[in-house]
Amino acid sequence: MLKVNHVYKSFGEFELNDIHFQVNDGEYFVILGPTGTGKTIILESIAGMYNIDKGDIYIDDLNITNVLPENRNIGLVYQSYLLFPHLSVRDNIAFGLKARKTKKQDINLVLDEITKMLNIKHLLNRKTNNLSGGERQRVAFARAIVTNPKILLLDEVSSALDPNTKREFQINLKKIHKKLHTTTIHVTHDFNEALYLADRIAIINKGRICEIGTPEDIFNHPKTDFAAKFIYGNNLKYGDEDNEQRQIL
């Protein structure tokens, strides 16, 4: 379980203001909000890239607020796939495992499994500089997930992809989450993506969380004016299907 406990972080003009939420074990939690509202800063604060001004972050009962990023056991994947250009796909994905001195045969087993799941096994020996956007993003995702992070943070991971590749990538995200149950926070602008993937959604505006709820709550019964305007401005409606049947509308 991840708990973000009344967190504040100021950057002069911009401030994260009393960010408070909890993500349960195995939950897929989506943060949805307009540009410039602090979504990336929330993820980077959880990952430990900033010292927050006030508040605490817990993983289970452990207060990790002052723990170094590399010791938090958190995976972070960005929109722009930050791969090592001089390394092969195999070495990119295995990077974190090698750093942990994982045995070669264990690395091979994990690589085999994840690359089959993401349909990138045939790319293992390629360099990353001439991969397509969708392939690069699957490699970046594989690199984060193979280290078995306690928490996985995804920042607009599909937003640079064309519609078909995006849809495929979202299906991959859902499939892998169903198998591994990694506690995930996924930041997006994309309502369809939020509906398709989220167990719960937080709507954020101007450095504050406006509202947290299930997709059904948020899309059918928004409680705040901002959430209602933000959502109904996008003309989406939520079907009553259960999670399995939920469609990208």
Ligand X SMILES: Nc1ncnc2c1ncn2[C@@H]1O[C@H](COP(=O)(O)OP(=O)(O)OP(=O)(O)O)[C@@H](O)[C@H]1O
Summarize as ranges the residues that interact with ligand X (CB under 6 A): 11, 14, 33, 35-41, 189
247 binds, among Mg ion, ligand X, none (CB under 5 to 8 A by kind): none
Q: Is the dihedral of CA 196, 138, 96, 40 positive or negative?
A: negative
Residue 44 or 217 with smaller CB distance to ligand X: 44
Q: How far is the CB of 4 from ligand X (least distance, A)?
A: 14
Please report how close the Cβ of residue 160 comes to ligand X at its closest, in angstroms: 12
Which of 31-39, 54-62, 91-99, 119-127 is the region at the interface with Mg ion (rule: CB under 5 A)?
A: 31-39
Say if residues 115 and 125 touch (Cβ distance below 8 Å).
Answer: no
Residue 40 interacts with Mg ion (CB under 5 A)?
yes
Three-state SS string across the chain, please?
CEEEEEEEEEECCEEEEEEEEEECCCCEEEEECCCCCCHHHHHHHHHCCCCCCEEEEEECCEECCCCCHHHCCEEEECCCCCCCCCCEHHHHHHHHHHHCCCCHHHHHHHHHHHHHHCCCHHHCCCECCCCCHHHHHHHHHHHHHCCCCCEEEEECCCCCCCHHHHHHHHHHHHHHHHHHCCEEEEEECCHHHHHHHCCEEEEEECCEEEEEECHHHHHHCCCCHHHHHHHHCCCCCCCCCCHHHCCCC
For the CB of residue 188, give the shortest distance to ligand X in the complex, in Å: 9
Quick one: 40 or 220, whose CB is closer to Mg ion? 40
Tell the burial category of 45 from Cβ atoms under 10 Å away from its Cβ (0-12, 13-18, 19+).
Answer: buried
Nearer to Mg ion, 110 or 154 (CB): 154
Least distance (Å) between residue 228 CB and ligand X: 20
Return the range that interacts with Mg ion (CB under 5 A); candidates 32-40, 91-99, 119-127, 140-148: 32-40
Nearest CB to Mg ion, comparing residues 31 and 110: 31
Query: Which is closer to Mg ion, CB of 33 or CB of 134?
Result: 33
Q: Which option in Mg ion, ligand X, none does residue 84 bind, with CB closer than 5 to 8 A by kind?
A: none
Q: Does 159 bind Mg ion (CB under 5 A)?
A: no
Among residues 115 and 137, whose Cβ is nearest to Mg ion? 137
Smallest distance, ligand X to C-beta of residue 99, A:
26
Of the listed pieces 38-46, 104-112, 118-126, 223-231, which binds Mg ion according to CB under 5 A?
38-46
What distance in Å separates the CA atoms of residue 172 and residue 194, rounded to the nearest whole number? Answer: 14
Contacting Mg ion within 101-140 (CB under 5 A): none
Q: Which residues bind to Mg ion, rule: CB under 5 A?
A: 39-40
